[in-house]
A and B are shown apart, each in its own frame.
Chain A
Amino acid sequence: MDEARSIGTGDLRVLHHPVLGDLPVSRPVQITVDGQPLLAREGEVIAATLLAHGILVCRAMPRGREPRGVFCALGRCTDCLMTVDDEPNVRACLTPVREGQVIWTQAGLGGWEGPAG
C-alpha cells in the first residue's frame, strides 16, 4: 500500500499520520519543472509537489538573483512566483497542479517569452 501512496510523488510525503490517518491513494499527475518530469498528487498545489521532491527554489529575485522558495504558503509573500504554462508571476503555493503543466523557475520579474525573463 505504501508504494501505491507514494510511488514517484516525492520522498518527503507523510504516508502515515497519527491524527490524519494514512495518505489516501491519489491519481498521479505529471508536470514538468525546468525540463524535468515530476509526479504530483491530484489536487495539490505546485509548491507541495516541489517540496515533496526536495525542490526548494521557486524564483531568483531581481537583485542579485537571490534564490527564494515557499515562505508563507498562503499567497501573501509572493516568494514562490514561478512561470507556469508561459504565464509569469504565478504563485506556486496557490496554483493546483494539472496534467502536462510546464513550470519554470522564474528569473527576476519574469517575462512572457519563456524562462529567461
Chain B
Amino acid sequence: MKTTGIAVIGAGPAGIAAALAAAEAGASITVIDENSAVGGQLRWRIAPLRGLDEALDGLPACRAAETLRERLATAGVSVLAGTVAWGLFEDGSLAVAAPGGGFRLRAEKIVVATGAVDLVLPFSGWTLPGVMTARAAQVMLHLHRVLPGRRVAVIGEGRDAAELVTDLETAGAEVVLRAADPAQVVASGEGRVEQVSVNGEQREANAVVIALGRQPDPELALQAQVDLGYSARLGCHLPLRNELLETSRPGLYVAGEAAGAVDLAESFAEGRLAGLAAAGASPERITTAQEKLARARSPERSADADRLRPWASDRAQTETDASSPWTSWVRAATAEGRDNSLDRVALCRCEQVTIGEVRQAIEEGALTINDIKRRTRAGMGLCQGIFCTRAMALLLHAERGIPLSEIVPMTERPPARPIPLASLVEIEE
C-alpha cells in the first residue's frame, strides 16, 4: 500500500487550489485526476475568470489552466493524470486504477474535489445522436475545435445556457431554437437529430445541447457514507461540512462543485480552505481563507450553505419544491393518458429503462431510488446513475408525494467508475 499526507481527488479549480494551499503549508500531496490533463472544467471553458486571484482574473479559463499547471509544477506537486480513484473504504484507504496498474493509497487526509456533471432530464428524442450535454459541447468546441453542429438548439435558461449560447455563436454555430424546459422539446430524425421542436415551433437542426445547470458529484464521499443535507436550491443532497469544509468523517473534506459550489471563484476559494485545513495550517491563514470564501460566495449560495439540514429532519424545506425549475418537467412526465408522450422515453439511458417503466414500478410500490433500481435496473448501468437518479427522485416526489429532501440518494459502492478487471488483479497489498 502506498501512502501520502493528503490525497486530493480531482484536479479542477478546487483540487488545484487545495493542492497548492496544502503544498504552501508543507504537506506531502498526491493529486489524482481521471482526465488526461490537469485543469478540470477550466480546460474546456473560455469565459474570462473573475475573483480567483490577480494573476488569473481576466484570462480565459483554458489559459488559466496552463498557468495553474505551471504553479503546481513550481510547487513540486505531482499529479497522477489519467488515473481513477474508484473506491474509498472503511479503513480510509483509496483504491486507484492507473495506466501503469492498480494500487491502494492510504492518506492521512483526503480532499474530494470531483466537481459536477451536467444536470439532465429526459425529453422526447434525447437519446438520438446529436443530443449532448453543455460540457460535451464545450469539450468539442474548445478542446477539439469541432462544432457540435452548424444549427443547434439549446435547452436551459440559466447561466450555463447563456454561456453555451455565447460559446456556440463565438465559434460560428447558429443557435436556431431555445427552450426553457426539456419537457417542451422534441428532437427527431433518422438515426440522428434532424429536427427540433419546442412547443410545436419546429426548426431543422443537427444538434441539441442540454444546459440546465450542474449536478454535484461527490461520489467518493457518498461511498464513505458521510452525513448529508438537502439543498433546496440544487434539489439534491450534499455532504454536510463544518467551517473547515470537513465532513462527518474526520479527515475527509469536500470542496468545490462536488459540494454545491456555484462558480469558479467559489470553487477555488473552497479548495484553498480545504487544502489549508487538511494540512493543518496556522489559524491566521485559515481565517483569511474563510474570509475570502465568504466574499466569493453568492448570497443564495451562502443562504443555502447555512440551511443544509440532515435529510430526514426538516420537512419545512419541501415548501421550495413547488416552485423549482423542474416543476413543469414533472407535470409533463406524470401526466395521465394521451397527453403523456414521455412514458416511452428512456429515463435510464444505459439500461434503456423508460419513464413509463419507472412510473409503473412506483405505482407497484417502489418508495426509494434503490427500490426503483432493484425493480427496473434503472441506475444500474455504466454511468452509475449520475444521469438518471434526479429524474427518479422527481417521479417519486410527484407520484408518491415524498418530499425531495427525504428521498435518499442511491447507495454508492465501489467502483465509482468502470475499471478494467486487470486493475484489481494488479493491486498489491
Q: Give residues in A with beta carbon < 8 Å to B.
A: 10, 12-15, 17-20, 23, 41, 44-45, 47-48, 51-52, 56-58, 61-64, 66-79, 93-94, 96
Contacts and interface: CB of A to CB of B under 8 A. Distances in A.
Interface string B223-242: 00000000000000000000
Given A14-B141, A20-B142, A61-B352, A72 B129 contact: no
A79 B126 CA distance: 12
Main secondary structure of the interface of A (DSSP, over half): loop
A17 B138 CA distance: 13
Interface string B50-86: 0000000000101000000000000000000000000
20 contacts: A13-B147, A14-B145, A17-B145, A18-B170, A20-B60, A48-B143, A51-B148, A56-B129, A56-B191, A62-B352, A66-B352, A70-B129, A71-B133, A72-B133, A73-B135, A74-B35, A75-B34, A76-B386, A76-B387, A78-B382
B349 A77 contact: yes
A99 B62 CA distance: 28
A14 B172 contact: yes
B129 A57 contact: yes
A70 B350 contact: no
A69 B117 CA distance: 18
A20 B46 contact: yes
A29 B262 CA distance: 40
Contacts of B417: 75
A13 B136 contact: no
B267 interface: no
B146 A73 contact: no
B128 interface: yes
Interface residues of B, number: 45
A23 B350 CA distance: 35
Given A19-B46, A20-B142, A44-B144, A67 B60 contact: no
Contacts of B146: 10, 12-14, 48, 51-52
Given A19-B46, A20-B46, A67 B128 contact: yes
Contacts of A51: 140, 144, 146, 148
Contacts of B118: 72
B335 interface: no
B349 A74 contact: no
Interface string B137-159: 00111111111111000000000
Contact of A69 (B143, B192, B387): B192
B60 A19 contact: yes
Interface-centre pick from B128, B146, B350, B383 (highest chain A CB count, 10 A) = B146
B6 to A, nearest CB: 25
B218 to A, nearest CB: 14
Given A18-B170, A70-B129, A72-B133, 6 more contacts: A17-B170, A51-B140, A68-B349, A73-B136, A74-B139, A94-B36
A74 B215 CA distance: 14
B391 interface: no
Contact of B135 (A23, A52, A57, A72): A72
A28 to B, nearest CB: 14
A74 B170 contact: no
Contacts of A18: 170
Nearest to B171: A14
Contacts of B132: 69-73
A52 B146 CA distance: 6
A52 B140 CA distance: 9
B130 interface: yes
Nearest to A67: B191
The 4 closest A-B pairs by CB, nearest first: A69-B129, A73-B136, A48-B144, A56-B129
Contacts of B172: 14
Contacts of A96: 36
A4 to B, nearest CB: 14
B418 interface: yes
A20 B352 contact: no
A66 B34 CA distance: 29
